[in-house]
Amino acid sequence: MSHPEKEAVARGVEFITIDLESSGQRLDNFLLRRFSNVPKSRIYRAVRGGEVRINKGRVAAKYKLCEGDLLRIPPLKVQLEEPPKRVANHWLTLIEQSVIFEDDDLLVLNKPTGLAVHGGSGLNYGLIEVLRQLRPEARRLELVHRLDRDTSGCIMIAKKSSALRHLHAALRERKITKRYQALVYGKWPRNRRQVDAPLKKFALGSGERIVRVNEEGQGSVTEFSVLERFQNATLVEARPLTGRTHQIRVHASHIGHCLLGDDKYAHAEANTLAAQLNLGRLFLHAESLEFTAPSGQRIKVAAPLDDALRQVLDRCAGRA
């Protein structure tokens, strides 16, 4: 018996008039987002071969759509998808209570630890799938940036394509200020206020992906400041000026002060201390965001540490 997700059905020729909300996007990005269940190779082949047309003419994949453009899409075979996995009520309730800012363009949530930002790699669903189930009328919800599964705190979700483009541009131009709180092993040096070290991704033999400081990597800069000192650990504020995968974790580890609870980059002594503190997760929290919203409003939002992380700090300080 064949599996539904392996079957395919052909769509006929479609004509779409580009609206204001979709204008400004690259053609390939528009098609990939709209036809997520069509193989990427098929979409690019259709564009290169002239099957996809704008106003009856051939265009390149990087063509920027304009309001009023008439887009012709050829017959495509789409993979039939299984019905979305039902999200546990626990996550639905928690995420509904986690919204800390919302307007017509975007949402900012205090993401709980333990929830990936999207499904895949063995996960039935993540934050974006939870939100889409909570807000079925919001058809264009997209992640503006990412947080690791174990990282909690502020995360932005765009509700419109135009908002996504605005916020991505702000990220590229470093106009969004992100501040994190992290508990690191040992005594952070008083004169260490910045780590400037290029980062590169590697795949281990097991298939696990890891990030390391490497001269061939991408330029990466993180600013650090001390918030509170303890006997064997330091609570620091980390402000990433670039947005590389695992940037804060790898930069802290690079100078000998790995994050407590880090299952990828922490050494044995840090793991022992984390166990003594009864820390069962990565101590990294996206504490605040400051940016100009697509509406022009200047926004600053903050998310407090959860009770579990506060209790860890109390144990560090001998308050518990």
Among 161, 125, 123, smallest CA distance to 142 is for 161
How is residue 155 written in tokens? 């995360």
Q: Are the C-beta atoms of 158 and 170 separated by less than 8 Å? A: no
Is 306 among the catalytic positions?
no
Q: Are the C-beta atoms of 176 and 289 separated by less than 8 Å? A: yes
DSSP letter assigned to residue 4: G
d(CA 23, CA 65): 5
d(CA 224, CA 284): 13
Among 173, 197, 176, 208, smallest CA distance to 252 is for 197
Beta strand residue intervals within the chain, DSSP E: 8-10, 14-17, 53-54, 70-73, 77-79, 99-102, 106-111, 142-143, 152-158, 177-185, 194-196, 199-203, 209-213, 221-229, 233-240, 284-292, 298-302
DSSP 252-302: HHHTT-PBTT-TTT--HHHHHHHHHTT--S--EEEEEEEEE-TTS-EEEEE
Catalytic residue among 28, 148, 263, 314: 148
Catalytic residues: 148
